[in-house]
Amino acid sequence: MNLSVKFTPLTYRRQCHYIIPPMSERNKKIYHTLLLFLSAALLLGLGFYIHKNSASFEKIKSVNAGLILLLVGIHALNYLLLGITHFYPLRKHNIFLKFKEWYGLCTVSELFNMLLPAKGGTAIRMMYINEKKKLPIREFLSMGFAVVLTGFSLLGIVGTIYCHFFLSKHNMVFVALESLFIALTISSFLLVFASEVFTRLFKMERKYSPKKYLADKKIILVAILCYLGMFLLYPLKIYLSFKAIGVEIQLFDSFEISLILLTSSFFQILPGNIGVKEVATAYIAQEYGIQFETALLASLVDRAILLLFLFPFGAYFYWNLLLEASLPKINWQKWGELARIPLIKRPLKVR
């Protein structure tokens, strides 16, 4: 008799449900309480940012409405591509998210990435997938590592080719940039090798290795196409940001500026790289004859327009997907029935 079991993604997911227990009631309370605290942090952080950068929002009033809508559309499309890289690998475990879920989780995590250091907003997406879809956290991290490593490698390869063959500037900054992209390309392959070595050295469970995602051609192809789309949107966004304040730059120049900014986005330490992105944009733009203050203003306007998109959509999906279940449910029907009782029939307190 053959007692062997064929492991498909569905049977694997069922086994994970029994091996890894669901979130306990205590942890659920902590999780939902944390969401409430994050809501307060979101409102305080947004208010503080608007207060400190009120001049940027004032500047938006003089920007052409068509350019604002175009930039908002670019941000929306960028998060659409990013969201696809998040949800597509989940299909490997027969987890199929609705559009509202995967796009909403993408905007929510990116909104909190602007408030929490080291891309802390990703933890919110991770906890949602773990609680609602029963995907182990180690599996989520393994999957995310494989997808980010794909983008990491692609940026290194594209950056190295462009810097070597097409770069118009050849000063020390851009020579260092080419070396950085070469280092990115090499380190990405070393990370794949190192993950395999650590798995064997510490006898870790191989089922959580990112290698199985990197070996999946469909996942890698989808990730590559999405990251290429995001890489192409970034120069267009920079070009339109400068155009919004009345500065015309070449598309090739905006592409070279975007290469540096894309590199910094992979090493996010400060929340949303606030300050780092703006100063980097202003510093590099000086190499193209643009004044530091002008480039800084263009970057601030771009971030302000990003918030015009990210805050309303992120807040809506945060409420709809996460926060609504965390608030105590009020029986409004009962309160309505009580309000319709005539005063004469209501019990009176006798002193």
What's the whole-number mean pLDDT along residues 244-269? 80
If pLDDT is split at 50, 70 and 90, which confidence band does 87 have? very high
Amino acid identity, position 126: M
Q: Can you give the pTM of this predicted structure?
A: 0.75
Query: Which pair of tokens denotes residue 263?
Result: 């590199």
Q: Tens digits of per-residue pLDDT, 214-236?
A: 889 999 999 999 999 999 999 99
In whole angstroms, what is the distance from residue 214 CA to residue 195 CA?
Answer: 12
Q: Tens digits of per-residue pLDDT, 262-280?
A: 877 766 666 667 777 777 8
Give rounded-to-5 percent helix, strand, coil for the chain.
80, 0, 20
pLDDT at residue 239, as a whole number: 92
The dihedral through the CA atoms of 20, 25, 29, 30 has a sign that is negative
Helix axis angle for 121-133 and 25-52, nearest 10°, is 150
Enter the DSSP assignment of 329: P
Residues in CB range of 97: below 8 A, 6 or more apart: 87, 90, 105, 133
